Amino acid sequence: MFFMFKRVRYLFVKELIQVLRDKRLRITLVIPPLFQLIIFGYAANLDVKNIYTAFRDLDQTVDSRDLIARFGSSKYFDIVSFPQTPKEIEDFIKKGNIIMSIEIPSGFSKKLKKGETADVQILLDGTESNTAMIALGYVNRILSEYSTVAFIKRLNQEGMIGFEEAGVELAHRTWFNPNFESRYFYVPGVIASIAFLLPIILTAQAIVREREIGTLEQIMVTPIRPWELVLGKTVPFALIGLLDVIMIALIGVLWFEVPLRGNPLILFLGNVLFLMSSVGVGLFISTVSSTQQQAQISTFLFMMPAFILSGFAFPLENMPQWIQYITYINPLRYFLIIVRGVFLKGIGLDILWPQMLALAVLGGFMILLSSLRFQKRLK
């Protein structure tokens, strides 16, 4: 037993020295995670604001100017142009200068005063469907408020003095992310992606590199057993992944001010269970790859579907039912629930135990399957 741990320890130290000695690999361990955090913390933003809007006012009345002022005072719209012809509007939309054009027809004010329906034409750039749908929702809200005010004003002018709006007023309260900050959603997701990506890349590349330069065969003629080799090869990269996750989590809390409302120990436990799947996948990729280039391609082919089917950016509920079934074998799905639940909701094991159990089962299965295949490959 003593000699067994001694051999694993030597291999463990050897892997750490080899990783830290490689300058490019040292940079890979720090710069890409930080770059990814900056991108998702600052650039990846689902908030729709400053919608470039053009107005074509054919009515030129107080009412039409009042409507334009309502859009101009909104934080969601940025009025950048007042085109005179439909051709100008078409050119602006094609060039991407505006996202939306609103045309107020002549006779708009007269129809309002008569109590008739006054039409407003909206032209929208539907290239970015999400932005277009959200922008249309903002427009409908402003027009609805304007229509209500115009209706009350007309009733008061007709002698119903003191008439006030009666109806239902929505009082809402948002939990966990009251200001709808996109970074609250993405920064915990970056933690999960780092815990998934780095161990896979490092494990697959390290083992394939040993096979390429012929040192793997030299290791096998030593008294070290195959499972000891697997342990010594995977634990260092799991530890590096864990340290990177801690670094990203601290930056997310201290710099991006993402709240950590739950118990950090629960996050640590979920991360450890998740790393089992990561190193297991990396080990499996090493068994199907003969060169580092093949390992890189295999990693890319695995990572893209894993991220898409995890809920990292796209809601799983919006996917077809048969694809939702496939996501149950994706460990990243469960860890995202854990990391976002601990960070934003402050929930504990009483709620997260199914995800923890799923990670333990998937991780154990991947380690066992990859280890057996790896040992068979060595023989």
Q: Are residues 335 and 272 in the same domain?
A: yes
In a domain? residue 98: yes
Per-residue model confidence as pLDDT tens digits over 248-297? 889 888 888 888 999 999 999 999 999 989 988 988 888 888 888 888 88
Q: Are residues 231 and 368 in the same domain?
A: yes
DSSP-derived secondary structure for 97-130: S-SEEEEE-TTHHHHHHHTPPPP-EEEE--SSHH
In a domain? residue 174: no
Q: Which residues contact 324 (CB under 8 A, 6 or more apart)?
A: 316, 317
Nearest residue to 9 (alpha-carbon basis) of 210, 232, 193: 232
Distance CA 238, CA 303 (A): 17
Helix (H, G, I), strand (E, B) or coil at 223: coil
pLDDT of residue 167: 46
Per-residue model confidence as pLDDT tens digits over 27-40? 777 787 887 778 77
Q: Are residues 223 and 257 in the same domain?
A: yes
Q: Which two tokens stand for residue 81?
A: 């142009």
- Cα–Cα distances (Å) from 296 to 136, 200, 208, 284, 325, in that order, read 43, 10, 10, 13, 27
Distance CA 30, CA 37 (A): 11
Residue 39 DSSP code: I
Q: What does the radius of gyration of the chain's CA atoms come to, in whole angstroms?
A: 29
Q: Are residues 231 and 367 in the same domain?
A: yes
Residue 51 DSSP code: E
In a domain? residue 13: no
The answer to whether the CB of 376 falls within 8 A of the CB of 290 is: no
Per-residue model confidence as pLDDT tens digits over 146-176? 887 777 777 666 665 555 554 445 566 677 8
pLDDT of residue 361: 95
Q: How many CB atoms lie within 10 A of CB 84?
A: 10
Q: Which domain holds residue 242?
A: 20-44+180-378
Q: Which two tokens stand for residue 120?
A: 């407003």
The dihedrals phi and psi of 160, each to the nearest 5 degrees, come to -85, 70
The more confidently predicted of residues 181 and 104 is: 104
Q: Are residues 233 and 267 in the same domain?
A: yes
Q: Are residues 374 and 244 in the same domain?
A: yes
Average pLDDT along the chain: 82
In a domain? residue 9: no
Which of 123, 157, 191 marks a domain boundary?
Answer: 157
The answer to whether the CB of 58 falls within 8 A of the CB of 104 is: yes
Q: Are residues 261 and 364 in the same domain?
A: yes
Q: Are residues 31 and 62 in the same domain?
A: no
Per-residue model confidence as pLDDT tens digits over 360-379? 999 999 888 887 777 655 55
**Percentage of residues in the chain with pLDDT exceeding 90?**
19
Q: Are residues 78 and 141 in the same domain?
A: yes
What is the number of alpha carbons within 13 Å of residue 343 lying toward its C-beta? 27
Which of 98, 124, 157 marks a domain boundary?
Answer: 157
pLDDT of residue 358: 95
The dihedrals phi and psi of 49, each to the nearest 5 degrees, come to -135, 170
Nearest residue to 231 (alpha-carbon basis) of 208, 196, 207, 195: 207
Q: Are residues 32 and 105 in the same domain?
A: no
Q: What is the CATH number of the domain that holds 136?
A: 3.40.1710.10
Are β-strands 121-124 and 77-81 bridged in parallel, bridged antiparallel, or unpaired?
unpaired
Q: Are residues 210 and 343 in the same domain?
A: yes
Q: Are residues 128 and 234 in the same domain?
A: no
Q: How many domains does the chain have?
A: 2
